[in-house]
Amino acid sequence: MANSSDHNAEVLTPTPGERLTHFFARRDVKRTTVLFFLWTALFVVLGLVFYPKWMPEIMSKEMKSAESIMIWFTVISAPIAGLVLAIATNSFMDMHRGDNPPEDGPAIRTHGPIVAVWTVGSLVFALVAIAWGLIEVNSQAVAAASDAKSAITVEVTGSQWLWTFNYPAQGIETHELNLPVGVPVIFDVKSADVNHSFWPVQLGVKVDANAQVTTVIHTTPTKVGVIEVKCAELCGLYHAYMETNGAVMSPSDFNAWVLAQGGHTA
Partner 1 sequence: METATHNEVSGGKRLASAIAFLFLGVAVVATVGFTLHSVSKESQPKTYATVNGTVTVDGKELPHAFISQSVFPDDASARANNVNRTNTHPWPFYTDSHLVLPAHSVVTMTLKVYDGGEELNTNYFAKVVGTIDNMMTVDGQQVSSLPPTEVQHTFTLHGLPTSTQEPLFVNVPLPKVQDADMEKNGSHLVVFSFVTGGAGEYVWNCEYPCGDGTYAKFGAVMGQNGYMSGKVSVVNG
Partner 2 sequence: MSTSTKSKDVARPVPNPKRSLITRLHMGTGVVVGVILAAIVYYLLKKSLLTYTDGAADPLSPHDNNILLLGTMFTWSIGFMIGIGALIGPWRWLVGKDLTDEEILYMAGDGQGVKRYFKYCTDHKVVGIQYLVGVMTLLGVGGTMAMMIRTSLARPGAHFVTPTVYNSLVGLHGITMIIAMIIVATGPFGNYIMPIMIGAYDMAFPRLNALSWWVLFTAIPVLCSAWFLGGIPTGWTAYAPLSIQAGPGMNAFIATIIIFAVSTAVAGMNITTTVVAMRTKGMKWNRVPIFVIGSTISVALAIPAFPTFMVSMIMTGLDRTYNTGFFDANMGGSGWLYANLFWIMGHPEVYVILIPGVAALMEIAPVFVRKPLFSYNAAIMGFAGIAGLSILVWAHHMYIAGWAPSLNGAFMVTTEMISIPTGLLFLVLIGTLWRGKPWMKLPMLSIFAFIWDFLIGGITGIYLSDVPADGYLHGSMFVTAHFHFTLMGAALTGAIGGLAYWYPKMTGRMLNERAGYISFWFVQIGFNVLFFGMFMAGAEGQPRRVLDYAALYKNSNLISTIGAYSVGIGMIILLWAVIHSARHGKVAPMNPWGAKTLEWTVPYPVPLTNFDELPIITSDPYGYGKGK
Asked if residue 101 lies in contact with residue 153, where contact means CB atoms within 8 angstroms, the answer is: no
Stretch that binds Cu ion, among 98-106, 177-185, 218-226, 241-249 (CB under 5 A): 241-249
Among 5, 9, 16, 101, binds partner 2 (CB under 8 A): 101
Of 91, 94, 86, the C-alpha closest to 43 is 86
In degrees, to the nearest 5, what angle opens at C-alpha 161 toward C-alphas 158 and 166? Answer: 35
Counting Cβ atoms within 10 Å, is residue 24 exposed (0-12), middle (13-18) or buried (19+)?
exposed
Would you give the binding string for partner 1 spanning residues 144-173, x where CB under 8 A is met?
A: -------------x-xxxx-x--------x
Interaction between residue 242 and Cu ion (CB under 5 A): yes
**Total binding residues toward partner 2, as defined by CB under 8 A:** 90
Give, for 111, the enclosing helix (H) or strand (E). none
As measured in angstroms, the least distance from the Cβ of 156 to Cu ion is 13
Which of positions 185-224 make contact with Cu ion (CB under 5 A)?
A: 196
DSSP per-residue codes, 20-67:
HHHHHHSHHHHHHHHHHHHHHHHHHHHHHHHHHHHS----BHHHHHHH
Out of 156, 233, 244, 257, name the contact with partner 1 by CB under 8 A.
244
Q: Which is nearer to Cu ion, 44 or 231 (CB)?
A: 231
Instruction: Return the ∠ at Cα 234 (arms to 247 and 200), rounded to 5°.
Output: 15
**208 touching partner 2, by CB under 8 A:** yes
d(CA 157, CA 191): 5
Instruction: By CB under 8 A, tell whether 34 contacts partner 1.
Output: no
Which range in 77-85, 126-134, 138-146, 190-198 contacts partner 1 by CB under 8 A? 190-198
Q: Which does 162 bind (CB under 5 to 8 A by kind): Cu ion, partner 2, partner 1, none?
A: partner 1
Contact between 188 and partner 1 by CB under 8 A: the answer reads no
Position 231 contacts Cu ion (CB under 5 A): yes
Among positions 128-157, residues that touch partner 2 (CB under 8 A) are 129-130, 132-134, 136-137, 140
**How many Å separate Cα 137 from the centre of its chain?**
13
- Residue 110 binds which of partner 1, Cu ion, partner 2, none (CB < 5-8 A, kind-dependent): partner 2
Residues 6+ apart with CB under 8 A from 221: 59, 60, 179, 180, 181, 182, 183, 185, 203, 227, 248
Minimum Å distance from CB 104 to partner 1? Answer: 29
Which residues sit at the interface with Cu ion, rule CB under 5 A? 196, 231, 235, 239, 242
